[in-house]
Amino acid sequence: MREGTRQSVRFDRGFVRPVDVVFDGDAQSSDGGLLLLRALDDQLGLTAALAGCLDDARDPERVAHDSLTLFRQRVFGIAGGYPDGNDAARLGADPLFKEVCGRRGVSGEDLASQATLSRFENAASARDVVLMGRALETHALAHHARRLKGKARVITIDLDPTEDPTYGNQQSSLFNGFYGGWCYLPQLGFLTFDDETEQYLFHARLRPGTASAWRGALGLLRRTVARLRKDFPGAEIRVRLDAGFASPRVYSTLEELRVKYVVAMQSNPRLKEEAEPFLAKARATAKKSGEGTAVFGECRYAALKNWPRERRVVIKGEVVVHPGRDPKDNPRFVVTNMRLVPKSLYDRYCQRADVENRIKELNLGLALGRTSCTRFVANQLRVLMTAAAYVLFQALRFAAKGTSMAKAQVTTLRERLLKVGARVVESVRRLALHLPAACPWREPWLAIARVVRVT
């Protein structure tokens, strides 16, 4: 291999003839599939709604990059696998990124620099990001109401905090003893409609590292339940929460809202005593079979001084068996006002595990934890931009029904649908995008494009 002076490379060995490589393809992009996300964004009106919450105090006559263009540059950059503002230097002249951000792909001005994007992120106020978070909630709920025409039998709300480790001097980065490090604790909210397999993101809020799980959750639940009752009259609303939300205030609020709930609860001596009969049966069964087993039951329970009345607690008396180890008791408890039999109710709670997969997508596929700005508000803006990118991916996955991409994760959707080399040809009247005829994912790409009315 030898390198020339024009940033070219020749491969002399291993091929039937010498191969010369030169990076000189003008008006080309490696992210041709971003057009799909922009078409979905136009249908949803998502980036326009969120960017509209930002108060731009700059002089309009001296502005080269308006707030919507900057917001789209960051959202589509995150979607394309470029989560840092530093990536702007590599993407500013990309014709597809320019096009999806609202500029002419070939003849239009380049997109903003990293410095401009940094100023944009740090110019946001606390009021801006609060309004944007509310806009995300409102927009998501309105979209699903339109999609389902206000008809759903059961709507499930899942709230879950996730650890966002921090490594610098970010505001409100605090030491969390449970996670054993300095972090933020973003709270994410998801909606599931009837038997759909997707949990749709509708809420994303950055919080300090020591925030209690239910901090901000009660107001969110009140807003969300009221809106769902308005948009989906007659639907049963359910709420699933992990043990971090176990609090008399949470139970009382859920009962006041007249929703069905199932909330995990940490063990204590009284609950262990209640679980002992079920654990005894599980131990006996495990001893005979040599395998782990679980016995389900329930009790009425009221925490001393804190609970004004007893509530139903479903108990999972589980014994775990590992080869070469002694059997281990693993009792689990959930508080509920639902009437399902104990095993069915506990299985219903365990379905919230799918939410963990959505959170993994956000963290691993879209770098939700890239909250490296010093200002807390700027990091909240980053979380909301990441949430917007994920909402677009969920819309893309929905549009992929009936194709091999219908259940693909974010990273797979990006690699197979967005990372497509494209030659961009611009005329006065239209933009032509030439994708490889040998693209291995051509058929699902075209099928999705027809759904989102690109073709």
Q: How confident is the model at residue 345 (pLDDT cuts 50, 70, 90)?
A: very high
Question: Taking 70 as the threshold, does the pLDDT of residue 273 lie above it?
Answer: yes
Residue 250 lies in a domain: no
User: Do 371 and 451 have their domain in common?
Assistant: yes
Read off the amino acid at residue 224: T
Question: Taking 90 as the threshold, does the pLDDT of residue 325 lie above it?
Answer: no
User: Do 71 and 152 have their domain in common?
Assistant: yes
User: Do 148 and 61 have their domain in common?
Assistant: yes
User: Do 292 and 181 have their domain in common?
Assistant: no
Residue 144 lies in a domain: yes
Q: Kindly report, residue by residue over 15-41, the tens digit of the pLDDT.
A: 888 777 777 778 888 899 999 999 999
Domain boundary (311, 336, 361) is at 336
Which residue range is the domain that position 455 belongs to? 26-242+352-455
User: Do 285 and 155 have their domain in common?
Assistant: no
Q: In terms of pLDDT, which residue wins out, 77 or 326?
A: 77
pLDDT of residue 156: 97
Alpha-carbon separation of residue 145 from 138, 193, 394 (angstroms)? 11, 10, 16
392 three-state secondary structure: helix
Q: How confident is the model at residue 349 (pLDDT cuts 50, 70, 90)?
A: very high
User: Do 286 and 411 have their domain in common?
Assistant: no
User: Do 193 and 58 have their domain in common?
Assistant: yes
Question: Would you tell me how many other CB atoms lie within 10 Å of the CB of residue 292?
Answer: 16
Between CA 331 and CA 294 the distance in angstroms is 9
What average pLDDT does the structure give for the chain?
Answer: 91
Tokens linked to 95: 């014709």
Domain boundary (336, 366, 394) is at 336
Residue 448 lies in a domain: yes
Q: Kindly report, residue by residue over 29-84, the tens digit of the pLDDT.
A: 889 999 999 999 999 999 999 999 999 877 777 888 899 999 999 999 999 999 98
Q: How many domains does the chain have?
A: 2
72 three-state secondary structure: helix
Residue 342 lies in a domain: no
Between CA 174 and CA 169 the distance in angstroms is 10
Q: What would you report as the CA-atom Rg of the chain, rounded to the nearest whole angstrom? A: 26
Tokens linked to 213: 């799980």
User: Do 229 and 85 have their domain in common?
Assistant: yes
Q: In terms of pLDDT, which residue wins out, 139 or 309?
A: 139
User: Do 238 and 195 have their domain in common?
Assistant: yes
Residue 356 lies in a domain: yes
User: Do 55 and 155 have their domain in common?
Assistant: yes
Residue 257 lies in a domain: no
**What is the pLDDT averaged over residues 167-182?**
92
pTM given for the model: 0.92
pLDDT of residue 4: 42
Task: Give yes or no for a contact between 90 and 80, defined as CB atoms under 8 angstroms apart.
Answer: no
Residue 256 lies in a domain: no
Name the DSSP class of 143: H
User: Do 308 and 405 have their domain in common?
Assistant: no
User: Do 314 and 375 have their domain in common?
Assistant: no
Q: Which helix (H) or strand (E) holds 329?
A: strand 328-329
> Pseudo-torsion of CA 323, 327, 331, 332, nearest 10°?
0
